[in-house]
Amino acid sequence: MRQELVIHGVPDSIRLDAWWLEAAGGPPQAQPRRRKDGGPLYASLRMRHAIPLLASLVAVADWLFWDQPAGISVAVFALILSAAVMAMKPRRPTAREWAGAAGFALLSNLPAVIELQFLSVLFSLGGLICLTAWAVYGPAASERLALRTALRLPTFGAVLLLRDAFRAMPASDLSSSARRQATALALPLLMGAVFLMLLASANPVLEEFLAELDPGRLFELEFWLRLLFWTMMAALLWPCLNLSEAWMGSAAPAANVQKAGPSRAAFLINPVSVRNSLVLFNMLFLVQTVMDLGILTGGVSLPEGMSYASYAHRGSYPLVVTALLAGVFTLVTRSMTGADKTLRALVYLWLAQNMFLVLTAAIRLHHYVGAYALTYLRVAAFIWMALVLAGLVLTVMQIRRGHGNAWLLRRCFAALVGTLYICGFVNFAGVIARYNLTHGSTLVKQDTYYICSLGAGAYPAVHAFETETGQQVCSSAMHYDVYKNAITNWREWGFRRWRIQAYYQQQN
């Protein structure tokens, strides 16, 4: 009798190796490897800590800024916020990234530590924006993404907290949800109130604090203004803690769709028009260069009724604008002048004449300052001329080495930022006062009113001049400025103010 072979089960070795026999199956899924950034678990923990961190930042902002003078408190809050941005970074930061971010934050907030002014606040905000863009995009961060971050943080980011709050609201039965929350909070609130009363009776400090919690303050304007301050700070800070490409945009640049057919700009800007323009510009600038050389060397006399100081003041600013427009023209026509040797020679000649005009403009301004003293605007003009001259030199280097316009723009922007950063450490009031007191004007008498109106920053230079010459320059107004700028709260501390105050106390 034949016996039928019955197999009651498939061995595990065959069952595990025969996954390909399943019709709609596939290989057994391996356990996902843990990513260095922490993966979904890190993201959930990060967002779980966002609300307590936001509340802490709002409390710190209230402690630093509400009804308080501003000073080093701006740098302190910027550093704290930078640390919060790094802590809420979408990908877990490494120790090296923490160190780099800390160094960058310190450098960007150092001008605010020296003195709180418009320029130092710009560097603090700019450093925070760059750090935020880098935290989101990482190595892909660029000038374009930093600019987009600067535009999105105060606009779309300001309503992000309201949007997230609406999304977090439960959509289920409100009555049952409210009942569950009331049940969960009734006992802790009741017993907490009892313990608070007992503790207050034993702690006079806590009792005094509770006595100040007057419910009548809910009807005061100051309470609502402070509540508005908290709300605004929360709305501005929440985007920095909820960093994501979902609302900040992707790092990939948008595709440039070029339209077929000739460009309309070719009617004005084409190789022939550029060649003719460069020939005409060189001829015009050559006339200006020869006349400037003649006037500066004394070979050409000025028109009747025009003083040398008027000539110096009249030409300094227009010549800088002319050189700036020349740089823009060279940048726009870069693609047409790069391959043609003749056009490149004309561009080199024109840029050289622009450099000479900038130098003559600086010489004119120097003579004008010698006649009418130094002011803030004239200091800014000297700095601006130096930047324009540096831009022209970079333009020559760009054409010589065949770099693109992006290379030139990045380096011009770096030169601008570097110059402004250095300016944040310079006490221009002291520089102006010292120059005007030690360099006598040739056309007007010493303008002591302007010197004394420079504020407390000019006090060391004025006092040193008065001590050396025995001549009183400023009356009690300068002492009042120093006294008015005295540091009475650590939040308004600034290195420059502290030094001036220490100098004043030492001399008096």
Question: Rounded to the nearest 10 degrees, how much is the dihedral formed by the CA atoms of 395, 399, 400, 402?
Answer: 130
Would you call 386 exposed, middle or buried from its count of C-beta atoms within 10 A (0-12, 13-18, 19+)?
Answer: middle
Taking the chain (508 residues) in consecutive chunks of 10 residues, what is each chunk's mean pLDDT? 53 49 47 47 62 90 91 94 90 89 95 93 93 87 84 80 69 54 66 71 68 61 82 88 76 56 58 79 81 69 63 66 79 71 83 87 83 87 90 88 85 92 93 87 68 87 86 76 80 90 83
Contact 358, 385 (CB under 8 A): yes
Residue 213's pLDDT is: 65
* Last residue of one domain, picked from the residues 145, 164, 183: 164
* pLDDT at 476 (0 to 100): 74
As a whole number of angstroms, the distance between CA 118 and CA 492 comes to 15
Domain assignment present for 295: yes
In this structure, the answer to whether residues 422 and 435 fall within a common structural domain is no
The pLDDT tens digits of the residues spanning 350-392 come to 888 888 888 888 888 888 888 788 889 889 989 988 998 999 8
Residue 286 resides in a domain: yes
- Mean of all residue pLDDT scores within the chain: 77
SS3 call for 401: helix
Amino acid at 46: R
Q: Is residue 263 part of a domain?
A: no
Please tell me the predicted confidence (pLDDT) of residue 36.
46
Q: How many domains does the chain have?
A: 3
Judgement on whether residues 323 and 446 belong to the same structural domain of the protein: no
489 lies in which domain range? Answer: 429-507
Nearest to 459 by CA among 487, 480, 438, 488: 480
Residues 339 and 443 in one domain: no
Cα–Cα distance, 398 to 139 (Å, whole number): 26
299, 348: one domain: yes
| Amino acid sitting at position 165 | A
Q: Which of 408, 426, 444 marks a domain boundary?
A: 426
What's the pTM? 0.75
In a domain, 232, yes or no: no
| Residue 34 within any structural domain of the chain | no
Based on the domain organization, do 448 and 329 belong to the same domain?
no
pLDDT of residue 74: 94
Q: What percent of the chain has pLDDT over 70?
A: 70
To which H or E segment does residue 270 belong?
A: none
Instruction: Give the gyration radius of the chain's Cα atoms.
Output: 34
Based on the fold, state whether residues 413 and 438 are members of the same structural domain: no
Residue 19 pLDDT = 45
For residues 284 and 422, membership in a common domain is answered with: yes
| Domain assignment of residue 440, yes or no | yes
What per-residue confidence (pLDDT) applies to 33? Answer: 45
How does pLDDT run across 217-258, given as a tens digit for each residue? Answer: 555 677 778 888 988 898 888 888 888 777 777 766 655 545
Domain assignment present for 246: no
State the pLDDT at residue 367.
80
In a shared domain, residues 283 and 412: yes
Q: 383 in a domain, yes or no?
A: yes
**Same domain (yes/no): 286, 143:** no
Q: Are residues 307 and 379 in the same domain?
A: yes
Boundary (domain end) residue, out of 105, 132, 164: 164
Q: What is the 3-state secondary structure of 123-175? A: HHHHHHHHHHHHHHHHHHCCHHHHHHHHHHCCCCHHHHHHHHHHHHCCCCCHH
pLDDT at 43: 54
Pair 141, 107 in one domain = yes
Do the beta carbons of residue 334 and residue 267 sit within 8 Å? no
Nearest to residue 490, comparing CAs of 67, 70, 61?
70
285 with 414, same domain?
Answer: yes
Residue 433, judged by CB atoms within 10 A of its CB (0-12, 13-18, 19+), counts as: buried
Among candidate residues 388, 408, 406, 409, the one with its CA nearest the CA of residue 397: 408
